[in-house]
Structure 1
């Protein structure tokens, strides 16, 4: 089995919590792509994280966390800025993220920083998330995308707080179209789809991304499961019933599970294979939702199989 390269951000999440009756923030290692890399490793795949880290104690904790999770760091670089903080609060179904740190520690990877052999040797390359709003990392992602010899997977992972106007959203929409056109798999959330393509039903968004060139498109719907577009018509795959306490990282775990299966079995030959893999990925996400935190709640394959017995 080969390895996956995950190119994106790593940061520290500050999550709403309570201690002795007072509101506090709980510190967790975070970043959507970091969650993906950890999830792949926990599910038995080999993952290499490519991105920029700060130069402070928090960056050291991120590196140690990834190393402990079995994620490779050969493609990571250090930059002379503090680690970005993402303050996460919950006022509705979707978490709200506010980011602190300028320039962002995750946004300083450049195309010249890339380990070309690492990229070219990957069986799966993941690109996406908020780093695509940072010109240096967008250039690096484009170069990696062009060099990839394996399967390419993409997740826009939109964060509305980082979009400073209609022009930024238009630009992101163009970037999404660019990467989707060359992707073997695109995964996005229902919230991503609504922001990028307002008033368009999720089935229509999935069909549009496939028309651009994506091999398969998965739109996650939270407790309602996912829409999978891999054949003539989109198919809805239900999510398992779970005792949810924290949805942080659930969407990332879906991507992690799909990448882990791509490493083992390659690209599905039939749409029904995608449906089966997404059903397993939704079980992974369900288990993540039953534990607090994102990356720390990524399960092993044995834990998923034990929790959901057919």
Structure 2
């Protein structure tokens, strides 16, 4: 089957909540790539996480969490820094993140830190998310992308609060284009697409990404579901999301990517472009289940849990 390498950030989320009538923050291990790694592992894939961590107690908890989840840590490097905190407040089920830490513990991986045989041997390489805004990690991700011999999957996971002006957005758009050019699969949210490409319909965004070089494109849109565009020559299809009792959308998009990576590891790429439809349909069920539990990585389900919640 092979294994997946997931390169990106790991941090600790502080999730806004209430206890005994008072506002509190609940600690949860997170970071979009970490969520992806844990989600894929729980769905049966062998996964290695690549990224930088700090040297405090919280970093130790992240390492322990990865180990318990069955995620390999050969590509993790430790740096003398406090663990970055992602503070999330909510308007409904959707989280709004702000990040705290200096230096950013997840931004200290450089290209020289890569375990080259680990990256070269991966059947699937994931890159993306907010580490692309950190020059050392961007360089590491680009090197990993060039070293990859397996499938490349990409998710920009845009955080608008980290993009202070139009110039920053334009810079990120250029970075995204560089990865998309040789990506076998690109997953992004409708919110990501709006930041990067304005008010263009999802169908037009998919065509734009195909024109840059992307293979399959999946654009998630919350309760609406997801647009699946398997190739530039094919027709894009909207798949509905399952109806769920959403309490927290943290990690929902990450779980879609996790499910798609897990299926690539377990079953390989679809034999036909239409094969992406069934895979995205399953990924949306995974995301629906994640939305019914608080937190991100801690809410990632197993295949058995998905089957129980959404029996066919």
Q: Same fold (TM over 0.5)?
A: yes
Q: Which residue of 1 aligns with 2:300?
A: 298
Give the aligned length. Answer: 310
Residues 124-149 of structure 1 show CA distances to partners (whole Å, capped at 9, x for unaligned) of: 00000000000000000000000000
Distance 1:213 1:142 in 2: 16
- In structure 1, the residue corresponding to 2:15 is in which secondary structure? strand
Q: CA deviation at 1:92?
A: 5.7
Maintained 8 Å contact 2:93/2:247 = no
Q: Find out whether 1:243 has 2:235 as its counterpart.
A: no
Q: Which residue of 2 aligns with 1:11?
A: 11
Q: Find out whether 1:40 has 2:40 as its counterpart.
A: yes
Distance 2:90 2:211 in 1: 35
Q: Find out whether 1:139 has 2:146 as its counterpart.
A: no
Distance 2:149 2:13 in 1: 33
Superposition map of 1:119-198 within 5 A: 119-198=119-198
- The TM-score with structure 1 as length reference comes to 0.98
Q: Which residue of 2 aligns with 1:222?
A: 222
Distance 2:173 2:94 in 1: 20
- In structure 1, the residue corresponding to 2:246 is in which secondary structure? coil
Distance 1:76 1:105 in 2: 12
* Structure 1 gaps, min length 5: none
Residues 95-137 of structure 1 show CA distances to partners (whole Å, capped at 9, x for unaligned) of: 2111000220000100000000000000000000000000000
Runs of 4+ in 1 over 3 A off after TM superposition: none
Distance 2:83 2:12 in 1: 7
* Structure 2 gaps, min length 5: none
Maintained 8 Å contact 1:207/1:234 = no
- The TM-score with structure 2 as length reference comes to 0.98
Distance 1:99 1:124 in 2: 29
Q: 2:264 aligns with which of 262, 270, 275?
A: 262
Q: CA deviation at 1:91?
A: 2.5
Q: Which residue of 2 aligns with 1:69?
A: 69
